[in-house]
Amino acid sequence: MKKILVANRGEIALRIMKSAREMNIKTVAVYSDADRNSPHVKYADEAVCLGPPPSNQSYLLGDKIIKVCQDLGVDGIHPGYGFLSENGDFAEAVEKAGITFIGPKAKSMQIMGDKLSAKEAAKAFDIPLVPGTEGAIEDPEKAKAICQEIGFPVLIKASAGGGGKGMRIVEKEEELEEQIHSAISEAKSAFGNGAVFIEKYVASPRHIEVQVLCDKHGNRVHLFERDCSVQRRHQKVVEEAPSAILSGELRAQMGQKAVDVARSCDYEGAGTVEFIMDEDHNFYFMEMNTRLQVEHPVTEMITGIDLVKEQIKVARGEKLSFSQNDLKIEGHAFEVRVYAENARENFMPDIGKLRVYKRPHGPGVRVDDGFEQGMDIPIHYDPMISKLVTYGKNREEARMRMIRACEDYQIVGLTTTLDFGKFVMQHPAFISGDFDTHFVQKHFSPDLLDRQTAGNSEEVAALMAAYLLEKRKQSEVSAAESHGSKRSAWKYNRQ
Ligand code: ADP
């Protein structure tokens, strides 16, 4: 492979090009009119404009991208994440044109691209699934009977849904039928596929996902987990690796199940198997993302493996150069997604210019971004400015480093999630590892952010003390209730 086209923009396009350059591979950027002056365009060896800003007139034009490859003698396409990255038809068209698609085969993407067919494939490999309906709901009466069995609340999910969209919680049986009908019509109009199914709504869930890597010769490994439980609108905003709560045994079990999911769809390349975990540490397969994940850097930090290079090597047909036993977790890493969003206003996207933009530096700090000072954050795409990643020899060092990096990062011109990231890092629930996907609803309010920004440490300390007191009361109550049942408190598993 001598020349790669990156069919993406922003931070991920740049990040991919950097690995390609280290492998002596030439790079081609594509861009829309809105990204004409973007760093990824300047960094590439060649660059081609695809069209106007809307994605369907630029970054989603698969045929045009393939034509660019043919004109410029490109032999591999890296799709990044989003846009065409999980489009099986595109992957197929790329291969048909004699170009290597740096990702799995179209068939694996198609199986895992639909939540129901993904579950079907996983079931055959004895992967634990969230209790619920087996397939798409056809008869609301049958669905009702299943809900009675598993208990309310339940979650109705669109099989073709993604990005936290197409889900609704149903609290009571009386609401079920009406909710099923509206979920079906919503799924039809949003995703062009009306298939919806029911899952038990897991209370206090953790989102824990496992990175897998497979070559074309049947070798498959996992690169441990990422904990992505801090979310807003069912979308991740802070991630870490490893998870603060997994024992070595559970990690190995989840890793093995993730590898089995990869096997179930004959996977090639880098992929992510997402699990949801309940309070008793039971874990269930949710879905597989058949691409490089936004939060992949935390895995790179703790394993020392460059996932993009591995993707390219696998696509070239090389065998993995390591086995499961060679892989070890070293240290701890956090990622804060720096979005142009206002946490005070329910994480509403903000628009504006990066009037001042100064990155943090120093030991253990990595910033993956695709903007420079003076640039506008275009409204046409995801409002993520950058990914701030810190690494430390243990969780505490990485955490303190993240607080320092959030403080050192200077962004003026728009509101970002940096202050929220710092808030998370300082919250006692997060510090202790005792948190779930409801972290924001349970622990965050804009006034806490104001107090933090004002540097009123006494007030913050008082709030934290109140939190700890409340927590102690709760655990005393639940200890009294459970009488030594096997439900244990979250444990912070030190690496
Ligand atoms: P998407 O494809 O839209 O990202 P996922 O199935 O991956 O959807 O779920 C996204 C998030 O929604 C999860 O990380 C979790 O926070 C929440 N979620 C999904 N399924 C359940 C469930 N059965 N119970 C509770 N929360 C869930």
**168 CA → ligand 1 middle, Å:** 10
Q: Which atom of ligand 1 is nearest to the CA of 284?
A: 23
Q: Which atom of ligand 1 is nearest to the CA of 286?
A: 6
| Each residue's pLDDT tens digit, 134-143 | 899 988 899 9
Buried residues in 142-156 as b, exposed as e (16+ CB within 10 A): ebbebbeeeeeebbb
Q: What is the pLDDT of residue 452?
A: 72
Average pLDDT, the chain: 93
More confident position, 300 or 164 = 300
**127 CA → ligand 1 middle, Å:** 17
Q: What is the pLDDT of residue 251?
A: 98
CA distances from 466 to 374, 424, 429, 435, 459 (A): 43, 17, 12, 17, 11
| Each residue's pLDDT tens digit, 440-485 | 999 999 988 877 765 556 665 666 677 777 777 777 776 665 544 4
311 lines ligand 1 (CB under 6 A): no
The arithmetic mean of pLDDT across residues 188-201, rounded, is 94
114 lines ligand 1 (CB under 6 A): no
Distance separating alpha carbons of residues 334 and 425, to the nearest angstrom:
9
| Each residue's pLDDT tens digit, 407-419 | 999 999 999 999 9
Q: Is 291 tagged catalytic?
A: yes
pLDDT at 173 over 80: yes
Q: What is the pLDDT of residue 490?
A: 34
> What is the DSSP annotation of 187-244?
HHHHHS---EEEEE--SS-EEEEEEEEE-TTS-EEEEEEEEEEEEETTEEEEEEES-S
| Each residue's pLDDT tens digit, 209-252 | 999 999 999 999 999 999 999 999 999 999 999 999 999 999 99
160 lines ligand 1 (CB under 6 A): no
Q: What is the pLDDT of residue 308?
A: 98
CA 421, 423, 425, 430 torsion: positive or negative?
negative
Residue 81: enclosing H or E segment and its boundaries? none
289 lines ligand 1 (CB under 6 A): no
Nearest CA to ligand 1 atom 23: 201
Reading the block at residue 246, the tokens are 């997994």
User: For a pocket test of ligand 1, which of 112, 157, 167, 237 has the largest count of ligand atoms closer than 8 A to its C-beta?
Assistant: 167
**347 CA → ligand 1 middle, Å:** 19
301 lines ligand 1 (CB under 6 A): no
Q: What is the share, in percent, of the chain residues with pLDDT greater than 70? A: 94
**420 CA → ligand 1 middle, Å:** 22
Q: Which atom of ligand 1 is nearest to the CA of 236?
A: 14
Q: What is the pLDDT of residue 162?
A: 83
| Each residue's pLDDT tens digit, 42-81 | 999 999 999 999 999 999 999 999 999 999 999 999 999 9
113 lines ligand 1 (CB under 6 A): no
Q: For residue 455, is it left (φ>0), alpha (ψ between -120 and 50) or beta?
A: left
pTM score above 0.75: yes
Q: What is the pLDDT of residue 495?
A: 28
Nearest CA to ligand 1 atom 11: 234
Q: Pick the catalytic residue from 206, 291, 395, 399.
A: 291
202 lines ligand 1 (CB under 6 A): yes
198 lines ligand 1 (CB under 6 A): no
Domains of the chain (ranges; CATH) run 3-102 (3.40.50.20), 131-200 (3.30.1490.20), 206-432 (3.30.470.20)
Phi then psi for residue 203, to 5 deg, are -80, 150
3-state secondary structure of 363: coil
Side chain identity, residue 276: I
Q: How confident is the model at residue 400 (pLDDT cuts 50, 70, 90)?
A: very high
pLDDT at 166 over 60: yes
Q: Which atom of ligand 1 is nearest to the CA of 274?
A: 7
- Provide the 8-state DSSP code for 340: S
Q: What is the pLDDT of residue 223?
A: 98
**331 CA → ligand 1 middle, Å:** 28
**164 CA → ligand 1 middle, Å:** 7
Assess contact for 261 and 127: CB atoms under 8 A: yes
415 lines ligand 1 (CB under 6 A): no
Q: What is the pLDDT of residue 460?
A: 58
